[in-house]
Structures are given as C-alpha cells and as structure tokens.
Amino acid sequence: MQIDTLISAKWVIPVEPHGVVHPDYAIAIHDGRIIDLLPAKEAARYQPSTRIDLPGHALLPGLINAHGHAAMSLMRGIADDLPLMDWLTQHIWPAEQKFVNAEFVYDGSLLACAEMLRGGTTCFNDMYFFPEETARAAEYAGMRAVVGLIVINFPSAWAQDADEYISKGIDLHDRLRNNPLITTAFAPHAPYTVADAPLERLRTLAEELDIPIHIHVHETAHEVAESEKELRLRPLARLEGLGLLNPHLVSVHMTQLTDNEIAHYASSGAHVVHCPESNLKLASGFCPLHKLLKAEVNVALGTDGAASNNDLDMFGEMRSAALLAKAVANDASAVPAEDVLRMATLNGARALGLEQEIGSLEPGKAADLIAVDLSGIETEPVYHPVSQLVYATGRERVTDVWVAGKHVLKGRELTTLDTAAILDKARQWQHKLAH
C-alpha cells in the first residue's frame, strides 16, 4: 500500500490503551492521519514516500498545553517574584493597556508557537486579547490551537465591554468554523472579572455552539475570600448557580477546593487544567491533583503564560505535576508517570472537545506526534520509557514534531518558521517594554 510516511522507533507510546508501550514499532501516516500502528518488522506491507527510522527514540502523541496566554511570551520576566494581584494590577495590566495591540499579539503568539513546537507541544488552548491574531500565528506555524474568545468587564484595545467581546468572539468563531487546525472556546477571564449576565449568556452560547468555556477559577485563597465577603458565595458555587458547572466548563488552577467541592465538581462532568509551575511561582496554592483524579475528574495540564512561569515547557510541567502531587498527597505512589503523560495528551484533548481527533496514537486520528531521543547521557539507561519521559527528559530531547502529518520540526529545526525573524521581533518588543 502506498502511503505518505512511515516512522519506526524504539518505542511507540500510544497513551490509549493506558500504560501500553510498544517496543520496535512503526506508525503509518497518510493524508495527515494515522492509518496503522504495527511491529516494525511487519511494516514492509507499506510503501511510503518518506521513511524515517528512529532507533533511539520514543514516539508519542503531541503534547497539549491546555491553558496559556501565548502573546504574553513577550512579557517573559517583566515582573517576577511578586504575588498574583500585585503582579496583575501593578505591572501586567498597566503594560497591557499601554502596549497590547494586534501586532503585539501576533508577534508574541508566533514566539510562543516556536517555543512550544520545539518543546513537543502540538496544540495549545489560549486566552488573550486579539484572538484572531493568535489564530493567524498558529495557522502560519502549522500548529493546532483552541483560540479563546475572551470576555472581561474591563475595556481594552480589542473591545470596550462584555457585549462587544462576545459579539467579536462569535464573529471569529464563525470565521474559523471550517479551519482544520484552529477551533474556539469562550474564555471569560475569571469570576471576579466577569459579571453574572455575560456568564449566563456564555453558558447558553456554549451549549448552542458546543464549545468549551475556559476560565480561571479558585486560583488563590484571596479570590475565594473576596467572593465570600462580597457575595457570600465561593466562586464555584456562584458558577453553579449560573448553570456553568457542566461538561463544557474548563476550570484553570483550582488550588482552593474542599472535599465536597471536589465530589460535586466530579459529578458535573466539568474539567480542570492544572498549572503547577505558575501556581508555585505566584504562590497561589496547591491543586489537590491526586484527590481530583481519584474522584475521576478529567484533569489536563497547562503552563499558563510565560509571564508567570516563565516558560512553555510541558515536559517541565509533567515532572512538576508528578512530584508536587506526591508531596501534597503525602504518598509516593500518587499520580504515576503514566497518569501525568495522559494529562498532557488525551486528558487535554478531552477537556477541549478534541478527543476524537488528537491526544493518542490511534488509527483514524490526526497524525499529531513527536519523537523524543532517549539515547543520550541524560536519559540512559532506559528501563521504563514513560517514567523516563516524565522524570528525566527535557524538552531539548524532542527532535521531530508532526502536526496533521506535516513535519514542522525536523532534527530540532523548525520548518515553518523563521527563527531569526521571530527573535528579532522579540528583542524589538523588549526594547519598547523595558523603556
């Protein structure tokens, strides 16, 4: 059978079935989709236009960064070592008011796409102003993205009030409806920055359009205390009263949860995105990951923005998530490596409504996959490939990336993006913001 690409590797880690590792396996790709996974010795049945042999590598699904603010890569390191609200109100929001425009978002998103692709991330879920520019950057990079249709009470250079944010978001959703790589989610910033009426409207629209609602929730103890003080309700209880606790909801951070809230949230079918490194850096608290997973909540993994992390490294997030979960649960067996890899792949796809398309290596799914070299000094010997990926591997070991079968990172070199031009733009913005 004639096919486009045949890739063989030392290990193929499909993620689904859970915990399975195929040694000396191959993946057959045609028309941007996986058509077969099979032992390498049986791959002679296919006649590929391109054959790639990776004898020291693991092949796995492309990583899914389920929460971030891509354009904020241009603010990497601009206001470090500050509490969340000081960081936001005294530094980030003033900088955004002064500098954020369409050009800023496009250039920052392109920088983020380059960083993510080089780190094995093939899909990201975003929340920021000028989402059409983030979509344009992702499409240019050949990367998959879920673009957040942001809603916030405050005026910005993109929209003046909640009605305008929603109207412009719906228009963008309609324009992207048939895009093979870019989908949308409503992205109200947080319960404390979006009023009841627009949240209720988003609930109705999300049901009609069948897209997620992506929102920061229970990020800090301060957020919860302020809500209790002003409304006599915890933020999750307020969202439930507005009808938002349902399978469309994707709640980010969730560091402040009671056992009753976890049980109730699990019954709603809503999703959580865990951002361990951003939470640590901003001292926001500890997401009770082990409890959420035991309650069968679908938990995905995200980096947050590079302004509060300060990188978009999903390998780092996997390792941090696994280690932190063990410490918080006081249980060394909590959240094993296989579970963390699933959070960074298939769980992310489920949270974003893309589990039929990406998140695992299965026939019929899009060929979004990455090759990770485990043959180096830093990663040998290899007893358990998945553990090695989570606990010992850095993003610099990602050598090749495919999105919908297109080879977008080849031998550590980006094939769709001009690295020098992206760096030049980033330095120009650094000069503006620094002065």
Three-state secondary structure call for residue 87 = helix
Structure tokens at 6: 């045949």
Q: How many residues does the chain have?
A: 435
> Could you tell me which residues are beta bridge partners of residue 401?
370, 409
pLDDT for the residue 356? 98
Coil, helix or strand at residue 384? coil
**Would you say the C-alpha torsion 261, 248, 172, 402 has a positive or negative sign?**
positive
Residues with Cβ within 8 Å of 247's Cβ and at least 6 positions away in sequence, in order, are 268, 269, 270, 271
Contact 112/312 with Cβ under 8 angstroms? yes
Domains along the chain with CATH numbers: 2-61+361-404 (2.30.40.10), 63-351 (3.20.20.140)
User: For residue 113, which of 79, 82, 80, 141 has the smallest C-alpha distance?
Assistant: 141
Q: How far apart are CA 334 and CA 289, in angstroms?
A: 9
Q: Say what angle helices 419-434 and 102-118 make with each other, to 10 degrees.
A: 130
Amino acid at 21: V
Q: For residue range 230-252, what is the model confidence (pLDDT) as tens digits?
A: 999 999 999 999 999 999 999 99
Quote the tokens at residue 160.
Answer: 């003046």
Whether 15 and 342 have beta carbons less than 8 Å apart is answered as yes
Q: Concatenate the DSSP letters of all residues of 312-367 into one string.
A: --HHHHHHHHHHHHHHHHT-TTSS-HHHHHHHTTHHHHHHTT-TTTSSS--TTSB-
Q: Residue 127: helix, strand or coil by DSSP?
A: coil
- Distance set, CA 59 to CA 48, 66, 294, 397 (Å): 18, 21, 28, 12
Beta-carbon contacts of residue 190 (< 8 Å; ≥ 6 apart): 215, 216, 217, 219, 223
Q: What is the DSSP letter of 75?
A: G
Q: Per residue of the chain (435 residues), what is the pLDDT tens digit? A: 999 999 999 999 999 999 999 999 999 999 999 999 999 999 999 999 999 999 999 999 999 999 999 999 999 999 899 888 888 899 998 999 999 999 999 999 999 999 999 999 999 999 999 999 999 999 999 999 999 999 999 999 999 999 999 999 999 999 999 999 999 999 999 999 999 999 999 999 999 999 999 999 999 999 999 999 999 999 999 999 999 999 999 999 999 999 999 999 999 999 999 999 999 999 999 999 999 999 999 999 999 999 999 999 999 999 999 999 999 999 999 999 999 999 999 999 999 999 999 999 999 999 999 999 999 999 999 999 999 999 999 999 999 999 999 999 999 999 999 999 999 999 999 999 987
Helix (H, G, I), strand (E, B) or coil at 257: coil
CA separation for the pair 244, 213 (Å, rounded):
9
| Residue-wise pLDDT tens digits, 286-306 | 999 999 999 999 999 999 999
DSSP code string of 191-254: GGGS-HHHHHHHHHHHHHHT--EEEEES--HHHHHHHHHHHSS-HHHHHHHTT--STTEEEEE-
